[in-house]
Chain A
Amino acid sequence: MSERKIRVLLAKPGLDGHDVGAKVVVQALIEAGFDVTYTGLRQTPEAIAKAAQAADADVIGLSILSGAHLPLCRRIRDLLLDRGLHDKLWIVGGNIPETDRMVLRQLGYRGVFPTGSRTEEIVSFIRENLK
């Protein structure tokens, strides 16, 4: 019986142009056997929520290095909830100071991966949390 691959949407919300990390994570997730959709830069929160639903993603990942993670993640959370995507695994990575990590977890982003995280941590976090 063939199992459905884990589907991941990886998005770059807002105006931040730092996409080295996002593309590295995309490659690592593909290599781990996941089905990955990468949005590219400059996605609005609305476009991301829509894309997550369209892709039927199990995992919704955001990458933000500009420091605007709190306002963007708040807005995206509201839109994901509107679309009934509360049961998906939300994760976020980027330049995220210690003090903001708890806030993001409380918003519903179960995985928070600050700069310097290893790609294998992200892969195993996804596997464990989708069991």
Chain B
Amino acid sequence: MSVGKDNEPAARSASRGVRPVVNESGIEIKPLYGAQDVAATGGMDESGPGEAPFTRGIHPLMYRQRPWTMRQYTGFANAADTNKRFKYLIANGQTGLNVAFDLATQCGYDSDAPEAMGEVGRVGMAVDTLRDFEIAFDGIDLDAITVSLTINGAAAILIAMYLAMAEKRGYDVARLRGTAQNDILKEFIGRGTWVFPVDPSVKLVADTIEYCAKVAPKYSPVSVCGYHIRESGATPAEEMAYAFAIAKAYADATLARGLDIDEFAGRLSFNFNVFGNLFEQVAKFRAGRRLWAKIILDQYGAKNPASGWMRMIAGGGGFGLTIEQPENNIMRGAYYALIAALGGAQTMALCCYDEAYTIPTPKAQRISLRTMQLLIEEMGLADTVDPLGGSYYIETLTNQMEQKIVEIMGWVDANGGIVKAVADGLIQKRVSEYAYQRQRALESGVLRKVGVNCYTESEEENPNVELHPYDEMGALEQIESLRRVRAERSNDAAERALNALRADAKAGRNVMPALMEAVKAYASVGEMTSAMVDVYGRFKEPTRLWGLAA
């Protein structure tokens, strides 16, 4: 009947003596696939794009109707400098903003806190008060350009700040679109910008989902990130499994507030990684889309099909980039963008070729942007929906990846669920162990990496990477500007708002209304964080687990 079936014996005999191939997720890869492989793994999902369970895409026409949003991760120094870079990227055809904050902001410290030493404005924009947001988004039409805030530990504060800034500029918050990363559970696993202990951290995520469902229903308050877990040391299947387990934990915490699943599930979104084997990643996205739809529509009983959409930003791939032969990272970025497009991403952001060295220069960001643009304009990636759909290999792998993800989610459940597994450090341990194996495989050459352990240059020419300079004076200016805001605002009003915030936190109420008031009173990120730390405490990392007791 099928070509694949007829070719099977030939392929089998031809593959004798051929090296076995197993993908990162642990699935054995055959030299040839046929219809019987698709059938043996559960068959093909015949539903079209835009139809549950959305294997082929969440929209019927996908990129033919609207290409993916291009949203390079950007932010440095202060609000004024970042505003200029935003405008540069928009002028170059970028269609969304993805804001990078400095580590002080991400960890809930003011720019003048001792903990912020050396970090103000370094890896992102410094934000202390609403004044910084007013400057950062000045002159940018928040209806035309959607903004994504890469913020987690201090997410509730910065979401409030964004909504307050938009409100002040006359936007109707009920119609405002945008996204916050706000996935704190993955911060405990990788990335590390936690503030509060695990339980109150999850409570804060539920606060933001509940508040946005009521006040800003078009805003996406959470983007659950398999991305950073994959960077830290997870297989592609684990990346999806942990992300779904985390998203379910946020959904459960929100349902416990009495909301209906259809009131908020459609506003949950995801952030996934693209480095590694192309086919494995594409299958991962197709499998993930199908599984997430089943979880939300079947297990949670959502009525609105859109509640089961796995909307995602896909891209980055920082772990895949190398410090050796950095120009190779431009090619890697192009393949990563191809993966994201074949995988059906709604939004794309690429790590730039110089990011193994520093935060990207404008030129490096423009190259990433052009990479995505030429896929649309020259390569036909926006012409046809799910172009790999129907491939025996991709369909089989999609089925197998789904099975793997389900298995891993079962393992998480068997260990008390994701919140407990993270609080116990269990996921962190598993991820660290895989990272160590991966490093050993790189050093031994089992895992091949071009320019690193094969095709290396004996005399590595000094890589000609222009470094983004860090401006020490900028940090002092930021501190100066914070002091000016503190001097100009009504300190009584700020104090009252902070006391109300503390009281609401203590009473276990949703803190978002109090945060909105505190933000509008120009209370600082550090002040609001401290008020909540007074009630919730700070997270203590379970370091004992990393084989250190031995």
Interface residues of A (CB under 8 A from B): 14-20, 23-24, 26-28, 30, 36-42, 44, 66-68, 70-72, 75, 95, 97-98, 114-116, 118-120
Contacts and interface: CB of A to CB of B under 8 A. Distances in A.
The list of the 5 closest CB pairs from A to B, nearest first, reads A17-B192, A71-B118, A68-B118, A15-B103, A40-B543
B150 interface: no
9 contacts: A15-B109, A15-B119, A17-B193, A20-B232, A24-B432, A30-B548, A41-B192, A95-B357, A119-B440
A39 B548 contact: no
Contacts of A98: 462
B435 interface: yes
Nearest to A64: B118
B117 A75 contact: yes
A38 B543 contact: yes
A117 to B, nearest CB: 10
Nearest to A70: B118
B314 interface: no
B233 interface: yes
Interface in B80-138: 103-104, 106-107, 109, 114-119, 122-123
B467 interface: yes
Interface in B402-449: 432-433, 435-436, 439-440, 443
Most buried by A among B231, B443, B543: B543
B187 interface: yes
Contact of B435 (A16, A23, A97): A23
B452 interface: yes
B546 to A, nearest CB: 6
Contacts of B470: 67
B122 A23 contact: no
A66 B322 CA distance: 17
Contacts of B504: none
A38 B212 CA distance: 40
Given A26-B546, A27-B432, A67 B358 contact: yes
Given A17-B191, A18-B192, A116-B452, A27 B546 contact: yes
Interface in B181-218: 187, 190-193
Contacts of B232: 20
Contact of A119 (B358, B443, B546): B443
Contact of B548 (A16, A36, A41): A36
A116 B452 CA distance: 8
Contact of B187 (A17, A24, A72): A17
Given A15-B106, A67-B123, 13 more contacts: A15-B103, A17-B190, A26-B547, A27-B546, A28-B436, A38-B543, A41-B192, A67-B358, A68-B117, A68-B118, A71-B118, A114-B323, A116-B322
